[in-house]
Structure 1
Amino acid sequence: MKIKILLIFLFFVNAVKAQITEKITIPNGIVYHYADDKINEKVKKLLTESLTNTNSYDVLGNNLIIGPTLWKRFKNIENLKSIPDSLIFYIDDVEIEGKMAKKPDDSKKIWNEFKKEVSGNYQIRKANEDELKYYWSTISFDIEEPLFILQTENQRYILNFLKKNQTLFWLDEFPYKNSYNNPIDNGTYTTEGTIKTYKNGNEVYVTDKGNRETKLEKVIFLTGDSELKANSSIEDIKSVIDKTNKIFEKLFKNSKREGKIMVQFELGKKKNDIQFAVKDDLDLEIMKEFEKQVNEEKYPNSKKDTIKFQLLYKVNSYNETE
């Protein structure tokens, strides 16, 4: 009797294990529902076949939504301009256009253009934290698998399928930016992850023109997350930003001229280096005083390796847009 119970228990454990799907790291605040491996593998196979077979459209359903980042490029393709039914996405309080294809022929047109871009080598995998954060910012529903990232040499596409019939209903592109042309040292910075931009303490993916005003516009980190955590702290970085903001607001709040100021901080273990860049019609006398006071301020050092980030200020100006 004990042997039978043990065998039944082992069978149950093995059955449960067979249904356990690959787990990923889910960022806080995101609701994510897994599908079992059988469904995910079935969809991956269907996706691969649809990409390699010219006349296969089994992956498509009744409707296909094109997310804002991909549509920003695809809307300029002549063959897709006639597709009706635009969608408006609200990302970082900015309105951005997307598209919904409600006719099979329109979905096929989009899919054909998509296949042209992934004709070379590609990888199909689950989403990482950054990709999930972006996708979550574009949608108003829980994330549910099958959800895959199709990664090529230059792009990362987001593909979300309906669980009930395994057809594609959402296609977008992660705004992957792993290089940054630094106007201060004219260098190009690259990272294995993505260059991140923050506004009002939050990571942002898009920015609009905004208002004409005088304030800190954004913070750009040129050091990766892991290096930042190992060599500094949120409190130290906030201290740098707060001290610099105080000097900026005191000097430029009543300035009538317009322009942009970029302040680059390199916090080292023993020495900090600060560089400045300006453009447009700034009051250079005020700028000299700003540089003087910033250089006289005491900022925290890094724990070991140098970290680098930039503060971009606008003076009677609009936001930089990409």
Structure 2
Amino acid sequence: MKLKFTTFLLSTISFSFGQTTEKIIIPNGVVYNYASHKINEKVKKLIAESISQKDYYSILDKSLIIGPTLWNRFQNIESLKGIPGNVVFHIDDMKVDGKMSQDLDDSKKIWNEVKKEISGDYKIRKANEDELKYYWSTISFDIEEPLFILETEHHNYILNFLKTNMKLLWIDEFPIKKSYYNPIDNGTYKTDGSFKIYQSGNEVYMTDKGNKETKLEKVILLSSDIDLKNNSSVEDLSLIVDKTNKIFEELFKNSDKSGKIIVQFELGKNKNEIQFAVRDDLDLEIMKTFEERLYLEKYPNSKKDTIKFQLVYKVNSYNDIN
């Protein structure tokens, strides 16, 4: 009897551990509240059923918020144009549009458009750090599970449910950018993750028109985080940006013409290369001097492997919207 009791006890303990809520990495500053394993598994099942079964809308209610990235793609779909309930999201200094459905039939229309885009295999998983940082930037409340990412070949949908009734409260899309066309070498760069863009020292997931001005617009990293970490440092990259900014501001601050400049740095162990691309009506005489000044500067080399990044400047221009 004692042996049987011990076996039963071990089985019970093993089962209990198996039901532990899956923990994830929460970015600094993000408030994230877990739901029970039982609730999360029930919602995952409901999502799968809503995808596989026709006219099955158990996850929907009349109220459904569509976040800014997904609505940016969906707003021109004919069947969705008539949905009332415009929403404006305040993300940092930007104002971006979204939508709030207040009718079950409208919620069904939105979900049907999502289902049309799921043509192959998909995965229902918890959010990673980047996805949490993006979602946190769009909302004005604490993140509460059930929260899942519906990952397909081309899109990562963010699905946030109400714990009380397991209805979909919020749907959006993580603004993943897996390819980038480089106008300098006419190549298309691809990544399994997403190309990272920085403005004013902060990673950004979307940009608006901004102000018409002359300044560094953004930094685009064309090498992976691991390659950058192994071959350079924050101090070295900051030094390059600061030197380039100083020369740019000195030369272009009083220019009357407008346009964009891309400065591409390719740092090697023994040799660095700098390439340029320009757009619109830039003052080419000033541009020539800008290039000459940058070629004369001494920049840090990489530790071993080549790394590549771009500085995008605007001259009397607005931001490129992405």
Answer yes or no: is 1:116 the counterpart of 2:139.
no
What is the one-letter code of the residue matched to 1:31?
V
CA distance in 2, matches of 1:184, 1:91: 31
Matched, 1:48 2:35: no
Aligned to 1:77: 77
User: 1:10-46 CA deviation, whole Å, 9 max, x = no partner?
Assistant: 7996575244211222111111112222111111111
Identity of aligned residues (%): 67
Match of 2:307 in 1: 307
Matches within 5 A, 1:7-46: 17-46=17-46
CA contact (8 A) 2:149 2:156 kept: yes
Counterparts of 1:298 and 1:23, CA distance in 2: 46
Verify the 8 A CA contact 2:62 2:105 in the aligned structure 1.
no
State the distance in 2 between where 1:205 and 1:258 align.
25
Matching residue of 1:270: 270
What CA distance in whole angstroms lies between the structure 2 residues aligned with 1:7 and 1:51?
40
DSSP-derived class of the 1:60 partner: coil
TM-score of the two chains, using structure 1 as the length reference: 0.94
Q: Deviations over 1:208-239 (max 9, x none)?
A: 22222111111111111121111111111100
Q: Distance in 2 between matches of 1:25 and 1:83?
A: 36
RMSD: 2.1
Gap runs ≥5 in structure 1: none
Match of 1:211 in 2: 211
| Structure 2 counterpart of 1:235 | 235
Q: SS of the counterpart of 2:61?
A: strand
Distance 2:31 2:9 in 1: 32
The reply on whether 1:58 has 2:58 as its aligned counterpart is: yes
Rounded Cα–Cα distance in structure 2 between residues aligned with 1:119 and 1:312: 36
Cα distance in 1 for partners of 2:239, 2:212 equals 26
Once the two structures are overlaid, the 10-residue window that deviates more, 84-93 or 6-15, is: 6-15
Structure 2 distance, partners of 1:310, 1:227, is 15
- Contact (CA 8 Å) 1:87, 1:97: kept in 2 or not? yes
Write out per-residue CA displacement over residues 122-161 of structure 1, whole angstroms, 9 at most, x where no aligned residue: 1111111111111111111111111111111111111111
Contact 1:92 1:204 in 2 (8 A): no
Give the 3 Å change call, closer, same or farther, for CA 200–184 of structure 1 in structure 2.
same
Cα distance in 2 for residues equivalent to 1:162 and 1:261: 46
Q: Tell me if the contact between 1:91 and 1:206 (Cα under 8 Å) persists in the aligned partners.
A: no
The count of corresponding residues between Structure 1 and Structure 2 is 320
- Equivalents in 2 of 1:181, 1:58: separation in Å? 41
Q: How far apart are the structure 1 equivalents of 2:28 and 2:272?
A: 34
2:319 partner SS: coil
Taking the aligned partners of 1:228 and 1:160, their CA distance within structure 2 comes to 34
> The residue matched to 2:90 in structure 1 has which SS?
strand
Which residue of 2 is the match for residue 142 of structure 1?
142
> Which amino acid is 1:320 matched to?
D
Whether the aligned pair in 1 keeps the contact of 2:175 and 2:206 (CA below 8 Å) is: no
